[in-house]
Structure 1
């Protein structure tokens, strides 16, 4: 049996010319499944937890098509790819709900650093201790998923020098988050942060990976990978999800993959410090250079590129995906490694002489057509 999987997808709305326009107050009032973010220029939808990759693909595409049709009814509006305010607007916060106290805190504390678009991948794991172990492993390898998904090389009409401007500017909160040694550790740490005020509520844990559930930190049932930029290609998102699921299946068979194994002569506190520092360094490197970033492997300290590490990981997990019958969904990962991620593709167009606005406009058209083709080919077939 495959693990249940679901997504939280944030996406910008705007014009076909690439201008990002705040419309979430209208969208959430008229459409089910969509919820507002603190800034009105992006909106979020979620998919139900599903084991089937084919059904998951339909659940990804259909809400976006519904949203597109609704936006066309409002005027000349569409969905904007990318994970940063590429064409401008970071100088001002557009509140989606002026009366929401938490939104008020976010605006005053972080400003437009949080006005990004991303996708959060949730994988269902009921056993809280297995969930903590999975969180430790995925935290160490989260930079690889950012490397595959990077799609924010621009901000305010300029190339920033980063492949994921979103992750470079996004305020990770609290400043230091440990690898949780147990469910009890997670509960105690969360209660402590709430008491100290470093977290405003249980949702205010903004790091690459976190345990999630209906009553955090006590009742948990899923692992949430939060580091990914927005992948506008649903097949690429399924590929990255398949890589994550296969790695978790490997961990379930081989608990020795747990990073928090304390060597003789070292304290757990010291191991924690080294591992957290290492992955933060790797995250920063990937935010800048994505697949080309030089990283340090958490297991043996080797220095290798993100691309080379992902290629190694694919070889390790493919047997687990094949045993469960979903190895074909890993194929898009190979395509990303071959062709480059979204950020790299955008930058190639930009460096070839296209203006930033032309790049964004072309990607808007490609995103629209691809999802129409997918809906026609797959979703209608499954509904038959």
Structure 2
């Protein structure tokens, strides 16, 4: 079968700090010195964005090249990159401004405080056809919890376990509090205009939810789906696997929308589907792969791991047809061995301190990156 890959791009947020795990904010300096990096309101995290690419063999280098440049910059200052999506060893009681004179940052700090001081990966997939885009948004909204479960990496905050696998998703201020399952483009436009009028959103970008439409000029000019729910994924192979699973799911939807668009096949109403999805997201943030979720088909309970196994089985024939099956291997490893949050919590339960767990992962992240760089240099 001819490959039908979608355009893919990533918004990558990262924490910086010491090899001991303490967060050190440098985003203002990084954004001045390194092209392509932007600062967040709190200076302890920063972001870079990759250009849209179709081929998976090019995506990994697009992800790693900025990280290598950033590591070199940090190394001169005896700093490094920190894994995890929350202030694992940080001080969540204090906001550290990256730009004290910025009035928008004033608003963020005053409204949300350090609830927004997290890191994540936003996965963008190009879909220019609007009916397809909104069908995709509905399916991904109903299955977003599965992608959070695979990526969960924030069980600690301020040096202590929080009791959740994705503390980031539980603390991040989802805005507005209630977001409908969009029926079509017109529904989205009218709803967004209402939110701007009543003040529940400050601007078109202030839609902080699990998945949203994106494009050059929202709400009218849209060309991609943005999955926002994933925690920070430091392993590039796992990130590509999760992206591949998402893309395969959408390609299956486009092949057979009458079987996979929740609006067409679910026994639940659009309002019930939106509520169920939010409930699933919270359950996945709490227990990730061990969570009991509820199927969007009929509302019946299903274990997260079981749902993911079913999803893998569903996309496998297509993955083999378009030569993507090999990309999915890291997902099987996560299902067998646990995600990063689960691994961290297991080590902590066996006696390792939070500091020990984080410091070990900092070293592993760097070694993994170096090994990938050497491997690609040999292949090149």
TM-score range for the pair, normalised by the shorter chain length: over 0.9
Deviation of 1:281 after TM superposition, in Å, equals 0.9
8 Å Cα contact 2:50-2:62 kept in structure 1: yes
Deviation at 1:263, TM superposition (A): 7.6
Could you tell me how far 1:63 is from its partner in structure 2? 0.9
Match status 1:107 vs 2:113: no
Decide which of 220, 223, 245 is 1:221's aligned counterpart.
Answer: 223
8 Å contact 1:262–1:271 — kept in the other structure? Answer: no
- Mapped partners of 2:138, 2:41: distance in 1: 30
Whether the 8 Å contact between 1:213 and 1:221 is mirrored in structure 2 is: yes
Which residue matches 1:344?
342
| Paired position in structure 1 for 2:255 | 253
SS for the counterpart of 2:263 is coil
User: Where do residues 213-292 of structure 1 align in structure 2 (5 Å cutoff)?
Assistant: 213-256=215-258, 257-261=260-264, 271-292=269-290
How many angstroms apart in 2 are the aligned matches of 1:172 and 1:14?
Answer: 27
Name the counterpart of 2:157.
155
State how far apart, in whole Å, the 2-side matches of 1:279 and 1:188 are. 22
Secondary structure of the equivalent of 1:261?
helix
2:12 equivalent among 9, 14, 30: 9
1:86 aligned partner: 88
Aligned-partner Cα distance in 1 for 2:129–2:347: 46
Cα deviation, residue 381, structure 1: 5.1
1:195 & 1:311 partners in 2: Cα distance?
Answer: 43
Instruction: Say which of 359, 371, 378 aligns to 1:373.
Output: 371
Shift of 1:262: 7.7
**Structure 1: gaps (5+ residues):** 265-269
After TM superposition, the score normalised by the length of structure 1 is 0.96
Aligned position for 2:37: 34
Equivalent residue, structure 1, for 2:48: 45
Aligned to 2:298: 300
Deviation at 1:282, TM superposition (A): 0.7
Q: Secondary structure at the match of 1:304?
A: strand
Q: Deviations over 1:49-100 (max 9, x none)?
A: 1111111011111111110100112x21000000000002100111111222
For 1:267, the equivalent position in structure 2 comes to none
Q: Is the 8 Å Cα contact of residues 266 and 296 (structure 2) preserved in structure 1?
A: no
d(CA) in 2 for partners of 1:68, 1:263: 47
2 CA distance for matches of 1:262 and 1:150? 29
Match of 1:169 in 2: 171
- For residues 20 and 84 of structure 2, what CA distance do their matches in structure 1 show? 14
Cα distance in structure 1, aligned partners of 2:266 and 2:37: 47
Aligned with 2:81: secondary structure? strand
Distance 1:315 1:159, change over 3 A: same
Find the counterpart in structure 1 of residue 213 from structure 2.
Answer: 211
RMSD of Structure 2 on Structure 1 (CA): 1.3
Determine the structure 2 residue equivalent to 1:310: 308
Is the Cα contact below 8 Å between 1:12 and 1:20 reproduced in 2? yes
- Which of 45, 60, 64 is the matching residue for 1:61? 64
Q: Does 1:25 align with 2:28?
A: yes
Distance 1:96 1:252 in 2: 43
Aligned partners of 2:266 and 2:297 also within 8 Å: no
The gaps in structure 2 that reach 5 residues or longer are none
Q: Distance in 1 between matches of 2:13 and 2:237?
A: 17
